[in-house]
Amino acid sequence: MDTVFRLDGKVALVTGASRGIGKAIAVMFARQGARVAAFGLSDKIHALADELGDAVLSLQVDVANEEQIEEGVKKTLEHFGRIDILVNNAGIARLNKAEDHSNEDWDEVMNINLRGPFLLCRSVGRIMIGQGGGRIINISSQAGVVALEEHLAYCASKAALNHMTKVLALEWGKHNITVNAIAPTVVMTEMGKEVWGGEKGEAMKKKIPLHRFATPEDIAAATLFLASDGANMITGETLLVDGGFTTQ
């Protein structure tokens, strides 16, 4: 069991890794022996490489931009020689009443939360097929399983991501590629604190049987499990890390 959750010799590509959940995943993977290609939108992503050293290749990549994705994947291959794990973590929320939701907000959410993971899965999936296997983990949300008010585009994007996960698992299982999703409850990232602060957040906690929000490390630990040998027989699943919220 000491080696089940080790990632020695593995190369992981993690998006949205400059902060929050993505950073926690990149740090945990590196500490478990993986080499990590960390994608981030801003130049803040390079602080992660400064922190973790040679185990990390930091690349400034906008996951809504196909050319930048392809260039980032190419640089990852040139630097590490392979990609064994893909974690699609980058995501945004634009919250509003359905009748007031703008086209621009809808398109932005879909481009980052759904189109970006599709482009990355397609690009990295081709590499994994050639290698004879790999692991893909899509960071979804409880909002992809149950409806949340003022989350129209966000809920739709995450529900679609969950189903994309199933289709990819079905098609790529024959190539020894597992594809799973993780659906967290509210996570105490900068975005989580902004959206779920004050009375709104306290009311939400009361709906969660564990009466707390998740930490980035909670989600990183679940991601590590799905990336590890402990999850060799799991594919096409959406793992809810929601403190029991969706039991109701």
**Catalytic positions, written as ranges:** 154
Architecture of domain 11-240: 3-Layer(aba) Sandwich (3.40)
Domain residues of the chain, as ranges?
A: 11-240
**Residue 19: alpha-carbon gap to chain centroid:** 12
Q: What pLDDT score was predicted for residue 248?
A: 87
Print pLDDT tens along the chain (248 aa): 568 999 999 999 999 999 999 999 999 999 999 999 999 999 999 999 999 999 999 999 999 999 999 999 999 999 999 999 999 999 999 999 999 999 999 999 999 999 999 999 999 999 999 999 999 999 999 999 999 999 999 999 999 999 999 999 999 999 999 999 999 999 998 878 887 889 989 999 999 999 999 999 999 999 999 999 999 999 999 999 999 999 98
Q: What pLDDT score was predicted for residue 190?
A: 83
Q: What pLDDT score was predicted for residue 195?
A: 78
Q: What pLDDT score was predicted for residue 194?
A: 80
Q: What pLDDT score was predicted for residue 1?
A: 57
